[in-house]
Amino acid sequence: MLTLHGVRKTFYDPGRGPVPAVDGITASAHGGVVAVVGANGAGKSTLLRLIATLLVPDEGRITVAGLDVTKDPEGVRRHLGYLSTTTRLYPRLTGRELLRHIGGCYGLEGAALTEALDRQVVNFALAGFLDQRLEGCSTGQLQRINLARTLIADPPVLILDEPTTGLDLVASAQVVDAVRAARKTERLILLCTHHLTEVEACADRLWLLRDGKLAWDGAPADLGTGAGLDAAVRAHLGLNSP
Amino acid sequence: MIISAAAWRIAKKDGLEVLRDRRTLFINLILPVLLYPLLTLFLIQVVQLAQATKRDPPRIATIGVPAPALRFLKEPAPDEKTAPANKSLASPAENLPELVSLPPEAISALTAIAVKLKTPTPEDRKAALGILRQHRLVTALIVLNPEARPVEVLRLNDDAHPRMDEAKSATDRALESWRKEQVKATLDAAQVPMTALTPIATTTLSLAPVAEAVRTRIAGIIPLLLVILATSGAFFPAMDLIAGERERGTLETLLSLPIRRRDVFIGKLLVCCAAALAAVILNLLSLVFTVGIMGAQLAKAGGGLDLAGIAGVGGGTLLLCVVMLLPLTVTVAALALALAGVANSVKEANNTLAPLILVVTVAGAVAAMPRIEPNLALDLVPITGVVLALKESLQSPHLPWMHLALAGLSSLAVAAVVVTWATRLLESERFRYPGLVRAGWGRWRKWGLKPPVPGGLEVLGIYALAVAGMTMGSGLLTNAPAAAIVVIPLLAFVALPALLHAWAGAYPLSAIHLGRPTARHLLAGLALVLPAIALSATVGALQATVIDPKLLEQGGDKVMEIIAQVRAAGGIGLVLLCVAVAPGICEEILCRGTLLAGLRQGLGTLGAVLISAFLFAVLHMSPWRFAPQCVLGIGLALLCLRCGSIWPGVIVHAGHNGLLVLAELASSGQVPGVQPLVAFARQVPPMTWGFVVPPLLVALAATGFRLSRKASQPGS
C-alpha cells in the first residue's frame, strides 16, 4: 500500500546550509496503524508531506496504492486522507458545506455524497453543529469535522499528523477512539504523535525517526524493554530519562 | 484553456467564502455603488451650504475717484441687471463691493505712496499693505488727477486676501464701464458711431452639445480609471484566496485534496476575475448614474452648462470597454494571485501587491496623458496599448479598429502567457511553502533541480531586456556606421543578455539548446533553407493581399536603404555578415535558446513554440515583417526542439536572410557574376518553374525532416 525507497528531502537554511530533513528512508507498510514518532525536527511532518504529495522528494521513490507520488500526484491524493496541525477548515463555511465540498473533490456526488455525509455525521456526532459556520465551532468540534472530512471518501491511506495537538483530554480521547474506529485491515493509518499513550492505545507498528533517518521499524511491543515504551523510545532517540 | 469541473467546484467554494467576507464584499460590491453618489451628494451639499452662507462683500476704498466712476461700483453692470434671477447663485446686488471711507490720515498716506507710483520702495509697499489690512480693505482705487488724459488710476491690491478675485472683478467691471462711457462721450462729440470701434463682429456657434465636448475631454481618464478599478477589484480577493488561505491554514487542506493544483489556481482566478469585473461594472454604472444625475441637476439649475446626457456614452462603447478589458483583467488577476501567493500572510501580500497597482497605474497613466496617441509599437505594450486604444475609441468619431485589434491581440497573448505561467505556480513547492523551501538561484543555488533549467518568467525578463535595449539602445547609434547600427544591438542587447543569463543561472548549454549539434542535424538545416524561404515568401504574399502594398514597400525600402549603406562600406560579404550571420546567431540564441527553453517549462511545448515565435516576430519591430517572421519562428522552434540544438536553425535563419537579400540585390544587378544566372532564370518559362520548384522544395523539406530526427531532449 505504501512503499518508500531511498527517500531524501533537503531544505536550505540560511544559517546552517543544506539540512537533510528526510535522509534516505526505505520502508513499506500495507495496513494497520503505523505510529510515526520522533523529536521535533526529526523529519516526521516532512515525510508525511512527501507521502501526501505536498512536497516532492529530491531523491528516491514513494508509491501509494501502487501510484508514484511524483508521476501521479492526483491519483495518490485520491487514495489519501491527510490531516495535520496545519490543515485547518474554512471558517466562513458551515460543516455541511465543507463536507459536501470535500466529498465533491473526491468525486462523490448525489446520493453517494449524501450517504457518505450522513455516515460521518453519525460517526463523529456532528448533527448538533453541522449547519453552523465553522468560525463559531469549538476546537474539539472543529477537529471532529476535520477527521470527518478526512474520512468522507473512505480513503485506503490515512495520514494523521499530530491530530490531538491543542485538544483537551476529552477531545483527545475522542480522536483516539476515531482512529481506532477507522482502523480496518485494508486501511493504512500513519499516525504521527508525541504521546506514547496514543501509540500504545492504537498502533500496530512504530516508525522511530531520528535526524531524518528511520531509527526503528517494528511493533511497539518489540521495542519496549522492561522499562516500558517511553524509556525504550527515549533510549533509541538518544534522550535522557526524566 | 478548458475550465474543468474541479476548477468550477473550487470557484464555487471560494466565491461563497468571498461573498461571506464582509471586507471584500464591502470593497468590491458595496463601496463602488455608494462611493460616487455619496461623494457627489457631499460635494453638492458643501457647495449649497457655501452658497447659502451670507458672505461679506469685499471692502474697497476709493480716493479721488470721480462720481461717474463711483456709480459703476455702486450698481450692477448693465448685463447683470437683465440676467434672470437664480436662487442658487448670488444676486447681482450681492456681488457689489462695500465702499469704505478712509480717515484723512490714511488717505494722505496712500496718496503719498501713489505719488511715488513709478518707484515704490519695499517700505512703501509694506506701509500701503499695512493701511489696507488695518481697514480690512482688499483694494484701494486712487485717482490723482481726474482731469488729466489719460486718467491715471492706481489699484493697490492685497493679493493675499481671500476675496481678492471678487474685488478685482468688481473694480475691473467698474473701470471698463467708466472707460466705455468716456469713449462714447468722445465719439459722440466727434459724431462717430460706437460701431467704429468694432468693425468686425465674430459669432462662434458650438455645434456639439456641451455634454459631448466635456465627455471627449475626460475620455482619456475613463480607460485609466477602469484599469485601476479592475486591478483594485482583484486585489482583495487575491490576497484573501491565497495569502489569506495560507494564513488561516486552509491552503494545505485544499492542496491535499485530489484536485490538480492547476484547477485550484484556475478556480481562484475565476473568482478574482469575477470580483474585478463586478467592481469595474458596478463602478462604471455608479459613475455613469452619478454623472448623469449631476449633469441633469446642473442643467435644471441653469448654471450656464447644459450637461444633460453627459453619461450617454452608448452601450456599444461600454461593451467595447469591457471586451478590451477582459484579457487585461485576467492578466492582472493572475498576477495578483501569483504575487499574493508568495506571501505568508495577508499583511505580507499587501506589500507584494502594492507594486502591481503602481505599475498598472503608471502604465495606464502614460497612455492617458494628452497628446499620446496609439501607434503600432505602443499597441503591443501591455496595459498602455489597451488604454490608448480605448481612449482613442472614446475620443474619435471613428473606431480605431487596427489599434483595437493589435492592442486586444497583444493583451490576449500576454494574458495567455501570464495565466499559463501562473496556473502552474501551485505545482511548485517553492510557491506552496514559500517560508519553508528556499534554495537560491543560479550560481547561488544550494539544491534543487539538477541540471537546472531556466523558468518561464525569468526568460521573459531577459526578452523584455532585449526589447528595451533594442528600442532605446539603438537610438545611441544613430551616427554610427550602418554595419554597427545593425550588428551592435544584436550582440549587445540580444545575444549578450541571453548568454549572461545562462552563465548566471549556471544552466548547462544543453538546457538552453546551445549544445553541440551533430553533422546530420547541420545537414538538415542546410536542406531546410529553401523550404523556409518558400514558407515566409508565401506568407508574405498572402499578407500583401490584405495589407496596403505601399506600407509593405515602405518597410522594405528602409531595410534596403540600410543594406545599401552596409554594401557601400564593405561589399556583399559585410552585408551577409550583418543581415544573415549576426541575426542568425544572436536571435537564435535568444529566441530558440533561452526563450524557448524557459517558456517550455512554464507553458509546455505547444505554448512555448507559439509564444516564442510571436515574441521573435515582435522583436523585429516591423509590422510588415510580422506574419512571415512569426511563421518562420514556429518552424525554427520546431526544428530546434527536434534537434535539441539551435545550430541547425542558425543555418536556416542565416540562409533564409542571406539568400533573400542576395536575390534582392541580384535582381537590381548589384551582385557581380550572377547576371547570366539571373538572365537564365528570367528566360525559363514560369510553367517550368512551377513543375520544378514545388517538388524540389518538398524533397528538401522531407530530407530536412528526416535528417533532424532522433533529437535528444533539451535539458536532459
Looking at residue A213, the DSSP 8-state letter turns out to be E
- 8 Å CB contact of A87 and B433: no
| Per-residue H/E/C for B222-255 | HHHHHHHHHHHHHHHHHHHHHHHHHHHCHHHHHH
The terminus-to-terminus CA distance of chain B in angstroms comes to 28
Question: Is-contact B377 B270, C-beta < 8 A?
Answer: no
Going by pLDDT thresholds of 50, 70 and 90, the confidence category of residue B716 is very low
Assess B248–A contact: CB distance below 8 Å, yes or no: yes
To the nearest whole percent, how much of chain B has pLDDT over 70?
Answer: 88
Pairing mode, if any, of strands A67-68 and A59-64? Answer: antiparallel
Assess A110–B contact: CB distance below 8 Å, yes or no: no
Chain A CA closest to residue B255:
A54
A-to-B residue pairs, Cβ atoms closer than 8 angstroms: 83
* Burial (CB count <10 Å: 0-12, 13-18, 19+), residue B696: middle
| Per-residue H/E/C for B455-521 | CHHHHHHHHHHHHHHHHHHHHHHCCCCHHHHHHHHHHHHHHHHHHHHHHHCCCCHHHHCCCCCCHHH
Question: Is-contact B265 B425, C-beta < 8 A?
Answer: yes
Please tell me the least confidently modeled range out of B278-292, B354-368, B627-641.
B278-292
In tens, the pLDDT along B549-565 reads: 666 666 566 777 888 88
| Residue spans of beta strands (DSSP E) within B151-291 | 153-157
368-427 in B: which are within 8 Å (CB) of A?
A: none
Chain A closest-CA separation from residue B453 CA (Å):
16
From first to last of its 242 residues, chain A has per-residue pLDDT tens of: 899 999 999 887 767 777 888 998 999 998 889 999 888 888 899 999 999 999 989 889 999 999 999 999 999 999 999 998 878 889 899 999 999 999 999 999 889 999 999 999 988 888 889 999 998 888 888 888 999 999 999 999 999 988 888 778 888 888 888 888 888 778 899 999 888 888 888 888 999 998 889 988 888 877 765 567 777 777 777 765 54
CA distance B96 to B163: 12
Chain B closest-CA separation from residue A104 CA (Å):
8
- 8 Å CB contact of A54 and B256: yes
3-state class of B408 per DSSP?
Answer: helix
Question: Is-contact B99 B62, C-beta < 8 A?
Answer: yes
Question: Is-contact B397 B309, C-beta < 8 A?
Answer: no
What DSSP line would sit under B619-644, residue for residue?
HTT-HHHHHHHHHHHHHHHHHHHHHT
Provide, as residue numbers in chain A, all residues whose Cβ is less than 8 Å from the Cβ of B249.
Answer: 86-88
CA distance B640 to B646: 5
Pairing mode, if any, of strands A2-13 and A59-64? Answer: antiparallel
CA distance B58 to B405: 58
| Residue spans of beta strands (DSSP E) within B117-204 | 139-143, 153-157
3-state class of B97 per DSSP?
Answer: coil
- 8 Å CB contact of A90 and B21: no
Q: Is the pLDDT of residue B682 over 50?
A: yes
ipTM: 0.91
- 8 Å CB contact of A101 and B439: no
Tell me, what's the pLDDT at B93?
Answer: 54
Q: Which residue shows C-alpha cell 455541511?
A: A96
Question: Is-contact B532 B655, C-beta < 8 A?
Answer: yes
* Burial (CB count <10 Å: 0-12, 13-18, 19+), residue B374: buried
CA distance B21 to B28: 11
In tens, the pLDDT along B94-122 reads: 568 888 888 888 888 888 887 776 666 78
Tell me, what's the pLDDT at B633?
Answer: 94
